[in-house]
Chain A
Amino acid sequence: MNEKVIEVHNLVKKFGSFVANDHLNFDVYKGEIFGFLGANGAGKTTAMKILCGLSAPTSGDVKVAGFDIYKETEKVKRNIGYMSQKFSLYEDLTIAENIRFFSGIYGISPKDRKAKQEILLKNLDIESAKDSLVGSLPLGWKQKLAFSVAIFHDPKIVFLDEPTGGVDPITRRKFWDLIYEASDRGITVFVTTHYMDEAEYCNRVSIMSEGRIEALDTTENLKKQYAAKNMDEVFLKIARNTE
């Protein structure tokens, strides 16, 4: 895991006088599962938008998938995938239509799409539901499908913004099986979550508070450093309530 796919140096983002991101510094490596934690309002979403090329930093150097976030925004977007609980797929399109739509956006040829779609449907065991509206699927299916579509174009990095909210404990763990598989294939996974047990599944974790990264390390080292028995305790010690 030596190849850096995200490089952030002195990233600052201000909204007026409010400093949402205050000199962030971190690197994320190829195939790594990187947990991006913090309390509500700590600045996670702001930083994620910048990394996805949706918002420009006020200052600092940021490279994502090897591309400069200021000058090569479009190349960044081509090389990343994104999924959140709030937005993932079009509910009023079928599974196959969603795949066709996203393939079109990412420039995947119809021939490649068909081959890859077959594999995707088979892996998720949803071949029979290909022509069902996404809105009619159980939430657990939707989430797994949304993740598979987010990495359909083989991005270098996939950003997951609270991907597992609301599902039952078994479905939540099956979702993490997909995350592990993507990581094994060399895709970097950048994930936010409010489930502290999920923080333990990450290779490394950063914890933000009031716009700054207060801690960044493996979960094992963080627990040692903060004399905590689990990540929940580490989080409570670091993420003071900022409201």
Chain B
Amino acid sequence: MISIQHISKSYKDVQAVRDISFEVQKGELFGLIGPDGAGKTTLMRILMTLLIQDEGKATMNGFDVIKDYKKIRNIVGYMPGRFSLYQDLTVEENLNFFATVFKTTVSENYDLIRDIYIQIEPFKNRLAGKLSGGMKQKLALSCALIHKPEILVLDEPTTGVDAVSRKEFWEMLKKLQEKGITILVSTPYMDEATLCNRVALMQKGKVLNIDTPRKLVENYSRKLYAIKSKEMHRLILDLRSYDKTDTAYAFGEYLHVTGKNDEVEASEFENFLLKKNHTKLQVFDNEPGIEDVFMDLMQE
């Protein structure tokens, strides 16, 4: 279990983390969701005992991040945002190195990494620096797991990774969770929030909200419309000029639009846009997603 109580951290005049508190339960897959500068990495580095907080207290499976840092380092696995393995060692040498550092062997915990390592095993004699992005990611995860950690912390493992590899990576995380590992993972991709048990939505060092992805969406209180027409860019501009529009943002094929208040009806948007000569117009009620929730919280 991870416990975070009133943690704050500043770098000179930048407040990177501002009074954050939450708990991650044993065996939970917990996501920190937010853009660059939200404070995700700083918080993780504090939990990993690599950085000391200015204020507050944090424990990992009961161990204090300051007092018990040596004990914590034995029970956590960490995958930093930047690829941090030895580029001039081979795949196999990296794995052996990390196993040895933790006084274990690759064979002892091979069970845990088999599904992941098997995909890069054909390249075990290749230098880590010569691997493709997806393979580096799999090697880094294998190395983070080789000492059978109780808690796994992953800092933006899917950033810059294509949609196919991202999907595979999350499937790997689900399997690790089934083995009882507590997982804290950060991501800037809002759609990945739905793959976590609970998430903290973060922005500028603060937690905007914490809940299950489903509850976050259910608690979105505003009326949301999806709108589409033949000319999407003109549609955005026209809607933003309409005095009954609050927000109008592109969401894939449609725009997601909110009114100044919830009394604004779909028919009002429709009539306004028809007067602006929009064709192939569609206006309908829409279910919000995590990204709608996040954008709404950002504006408060």
Instruction: Give A130-159 as 1s and 0s: 1 = Cβ < 8 Å from B's Cβ atoms.
Output: 000000001100000000000000000000
Q: In the bound complex, what is the Cα–Cα distance between A184 and B159 (angstroms)?
A: 31
Chain A nearest CB from B218 CB (Å) reads 20
Q: Are A194 and B35 touching (Cβ within 8 A)?
A: no
Tell whether A70 is near chain B: CB-to-CB under 8 Å.
no
Interface residues of B in 261-300 (CB under 8 A from A): 291, 294-295, 298-299
Tell whether A167 is near chain B: CB-to-CB under 8 Å.
yes
Q: In the bound complex, what is the Cα–Cα distance between A18 and B9 (angstroms)?
A: 49
| Residue from B249, B251, B252 whose CB has the most chain A CB atoms within 10 Å | B252
Tell whether B164 is near chain A: CB-to-CB under 8 Å.
yes
| Residue from A39, A196, A231 whose CB has the most chain B CB atoms within 10 Å | A39
Chain A nearest CB from B254 CB (Å) reads 9
Tell whether B250 is near chain A: CB-to-CB under 8 Å.
yes
The interface residues of chain B lying within 8 Å CB-to-CB of A167 are: 35-36, 188
Q: Are A243 and B134 touching (Cβ within 8 A)?
A: yes
- In the complex, number of A-B residue pairs with CB atoms less than 8 Å apart: 92
Tell whether B42 is near chain A: CB-to-CB under 8 Å.
no
Q: In the bound complex, what is the Cα–Cα distance between A105 and B37 (angstroms)?
A: 32
The interface residues of chain B lying within 8 Å CB-to-CB of A162 are: 160
Tell whether A201 is near chain B: CB-to-CB under 8 Å.
yes
Q: In the bound complex, what is the Cα–Cα distance between A236 and B291 (angstroms)?
A: 21
Which one, B162, B190, B291, contacts A194 given CB within 8 A? B162
Tell whether A73 is near chain B: CB-to-CB under 8 Å.
no
Size category, B interface: 35 or more
Closest chain B residue, CB of each to CB of A85: B160
The interface residues of chain A lying within 8 Å CB-to-CB of B294 are: 168-169
Q: In the bound complex, what is the Cα–Cα distance between A41 and B167 (angstroms)?
A: 16
Q: In the bound complex, what is the Cα–Cα distance between A59 and B295 (angstroms)?
A: 47
The interface residues of chain A lying within 8 Å CB-to-CB of B164 are: 39, 235-236, 239-241
The interface residues of chain A lying within 8 Å CB-to-CB of B190 are: 169
Q: Are A170 and B249 touching (Cβ within 8 A)?
A: yes
Tell whether A173 is near chain B: CB-to-CB under 8 Å.
yes
Q: Are A169 and B163 touching (Cβ within 8 A)?
A: no
The interface residues of chain B lying within 8 Å CB-to-CB of A102 are: none
Q: Are A194 and B295 touching (Cβ within 8 A)?
A: no
Q: Are A40 and B250 touching (Cβ within 8 A)?
A: no
Chain B nearest CB from A148 CB (Å) reads 18
| Residue from A39, A138, A201, A243 whose CB has the most chain B CB atoms within 10 Å | A243
A-B contact pairs, 28 of them (CB 8 A): A39-B164, A40-B132, A40-B161, A40-B162, A41-B133, A41-B134, A138-B37, A139-B35, A139-B36, A165-B188, A166-B36, A167-B188, A169-B190, A169-B249, A169-B295, A169-B298, A170-B299, A173-B249, A176-B250, A180-B236, A184-B233, A194-B160, A194-B162, A194-B163, A200-B252, A236-B163, A241-B134, A243-B119
